[in-house]
Structure 1
């Protein structure tokens, strides 16, 4: 009996040692693989021409910093950025990205513009001075040099319109009332719906579901430990490679019905922001953003991105078209479809199926600015001249 127990103990110990050695070895391998993979993808982006005019090493630095970004828990929003002081990406203590505010003279009296969106509003892949909010700031400063304007970039990777509405509400509760609110959406509404096979849920919400009550459930702990291990990653990657000839998960198209749900959910959140607009007296702009499926003239590089992630196409095409046809959106001056903003360009704009280089951010900011102009134009006070005889009549009465 003792010999059997001793044998079982030795076997268990050896299996554990082998597992730990494999886990550590694969961890070192994947750490190197992932880092080199990022640079490998950046080489592809550089070759595409999306960052013409920038040194290759600068582009690599931008994307390395994106890889280094981390998140922390944030109530109601699931997460927000941790502070970062990168060479090209600056994130403040409050989790918001730096915007070059050229027109800011006095924050207390400034006209406030809040910019909400996902990683495209954050402007992943661009330097601080070339994000959509920073490019918008340049246009305002050039055209309205005397205006005192402060722009805040609330964009964060994976945020959907639902999350952005909560962000705005939290600022309003703190009495941080904007004058203009910009929502730049479309991409994450589709991605989150595709992930969860349900519209309106947060991006990566399925991960939060797996983690719920993890501390009180040993089965969940063990399962998460296994599925998060490097060995599990190796085995599943090997399986996919053997049976699909690809190391990556093969995503399929979702049903057309899901596209309708995406559109209806988006319209619902627009309605909510309109009620806030009326109550707090600010101006809302709802911009429907471009994606690679909506660009008319694709370059060779962009055609490659299109093919790589074509499984999203039906959801984007149908959900966008349903939003456009919605009676509320058709009659709402705050809803502006700018998905065609790149149609006149024959240059490579995209660095994947939805993110753009700095040229794309300039073009988006320029289109937004055209709609913001009336709100930025100083209001002139008309002087009414009352005839002298009329003044005498009023005095005598």
Structure 2
């Protein structure tokens, strides 16, 4: 009897000791995480003039935002210090009831605004500001329909299954990068199709800091010890065809649903003739953009075919040509300054369409 009691006491002491140890580790790691937030991108020169607290808030928001995988859509009603997802599942303010003109801008994390300091400094946020200033007498609404991980398959499904219900007047498609890097075999799989990616996302969204930091150290080790992440061009022609066909399918719906469509190829590091900063040169080499950008040209080559059916198509790969400062904080994401430049270019392209559509 005494042996059994002793065994139970030992087990209880062991469990209590383990809990105390794990709690101590968690406290230490939380302290570390406060001074070293779990986002590599905030070390970029893009964020050199931003306060530490704001960097941390950006990092937390990007880690915590949640989306459904299949079909891919943002979970509504999420609110963080730098990110707000409204009740309809779009980043930004609540939608208006009866706008005079409604524009959706559709894309992946670059449109969503990964790394933006606020909802208003995303591409759609800057575009809304410019449009509202130009047309003060009209209620023109710009809606951010960007979702991290989105590409042509998930974006076209989002349009057909959700966005058309909101009676859009204009759809702006801003993508290319995610289609370029996604696997051909998984084209019809939404979001995080790899089990490991789903597990990582769940860990980052949890409140327990220890496993998140361990993941950070692991991926930083990988990043620092792999000189070049080679681009795999397998099935690139088929991938371009799938991308093109997805947007032809959407553009063929224009007459039936009374909307217009503009397709835009987004810039990634090394496209166009931008003078790359030392930081951007590192991304260019590390992510094998010499190969990647060569095959990216095939997406631009497909634009004339789309232009015959869609309202308009534009190649924005050279949008940063006149800027020498660091704009990219990785292979394709940009900060507020880059977002504003892109918004200005989109504004220039769509103004003639809006002027023609709205009443005089």
- Normalising by the smaller structure, the TM-score range is 0.7 to 0.9
How far did 1:291 drift? 0.7
Q: Is residue 305 of structure 1 aligned with residue 293 of structure 2?
A: no
Cα distance between partner residues in 2 of 1:56 and 1:176: 38
Q: Is residue 321 of structure 1 aligned with residue 316 of structure 2?
A: no
Contact 1:290 1:354 in 2 (8 A): yes
Contact 1:96 1:154 in 2 (8 A): yes
Cα distance between partner residues in 1 of 2:67 and 2:131: 33
Q: Is residue 80 of structure 1 aligned with residue 58 of structure 2?
A: no
Alignment root-mean-square deviation, CA: 4.3
Q: Which residue number corresponds to residue 259 of structure 1? A: 236
Contact 2:171 2:259 in 1 (8 A): yes
Cα distance between partner residues in 1 of 2:228 and 2:190: 19
Q: Is residue 180 of structure 1 aligned with residue 170 of structure 2?
A: yes
Contact 1:72 1:82 in 2 (8 A): no
Structure 1 pair 238–40 and aligned structure 2 pair: CA distance change class (3 A)? closer
Cα distance between partner residues in 1 of 2:34 and 2:58: 10
Q: Which residue number corresponds to residue 193 of structure 2? A: 205
How far did 1:144 drift? 2.2
Structure 1 pair 278–10 and aligned structure 2 pair: CA distance change class (3 A)? farther
Secondary structure of 1:38 counterpart: coil
Q: Which residue number corresponds to residue 347 of structure 2? A: 369
Higher Rg: 1
Provide, for residues 291-338 of structure 1, a one-character-per-residue CA deviation record: whole Å limited to 9, x for no partner.
11315211122223333x4246523430x2112223514656622110
Contact 1:81 1:156 in 2 (8 A): no
Structure 1 pair 289–172 and aligned structure 2 pair: CA distance change class (3 A)? closer
Q: Which residue number corresponds to residue 215 of structure 1? A: none
Provide, for residues 248-281 of structure 1, a one-character-per-residue CA deviation record: whole Å limited to 9, x for no partner.
7887424323332331221121112112223212
Cα distance between partner residues in 1 of 2:298 and 2:176: 12
Unaligned runs of 5+ in 1: 4-8, 212-229, 383-397
Cα distance between partner residues in 1 of 2:314 and 2:36: 37
Unaligned runs of 5+ in 2: 200-209
Contact 2:268 2:317 in 1 (8 A): yes
Cα distance between partner residues in 1 of 2:120 and 2:269: 24
Q: Is residue 287 of structure 1 aligned with residue 287 of structure 2?
A: no
Cα distance between partner residues in 1 of 2:31 and 2:190: 31
Secondary structure of 2:104 counterpart: strand
Q: Which residue number corresponds to residue 59 of structure 2? A: 64
Number of aligned pairs? 346
Q: Which residue number corresponds to residue 340 of structure 1? A: 318
Contact 1:184 1:288 in 2 (8 A): yes
Provide, for residues 203-236 of structure 1, a one-character-per-residue CA deviation record: whole Å limited to 9, x for no partner.
421128989xxxxxxxxxxxxxxxxxx78x969x
The TM-score, its normalising length taken from structure 1, stands at 0.70
Q: Is residue 119 of structure 1 aligned with residue 109 of structure 2?
A: yes
Structure of greater relative contact order (alpha carbons < 8 Å, 6+ residues apart): 2
How far did 1:366 drift? 1.1
Which residues of 2 match residues 1-397 of structure 1 at below 5 A? 36-38=35-37, 41=40, 44-45=43-44, 48=45, 50-51=46-47, 54-57=49-52, 59-73=54-68, 76-77=71-72, 80=75, 83-86=78-81, 88-98=82-92, 107-124=97-114, 125-171=116-162, 175-193=165-183, 198-199=186-187, 201-207=189-195, 252-295=229-272, 296-307=274-285, 309-311=286-288, 314-318=291-295, 320-326=296-302, 328-329=305-306, 331=308, 334-377=312-355
Cα distance between partner residues in 2 of 1:299 and 1:63: 23
Cα distance between partner residues in 1 of 2:219 and 2:341: 43
Provide, for residues 359-395 of structure 1, a one-character-per-residue CA deviation record: whole Å limited to 9, x for no partner.
111111111112211222156999xxxxxxxxxxxxx
Cα distance between partner residues in 1 of 2:91 and 2:344: 20
Contact 1:113 1:182 in 2 (8 A): yes
Contact 1:51 1:358 in 2 (8 A): no
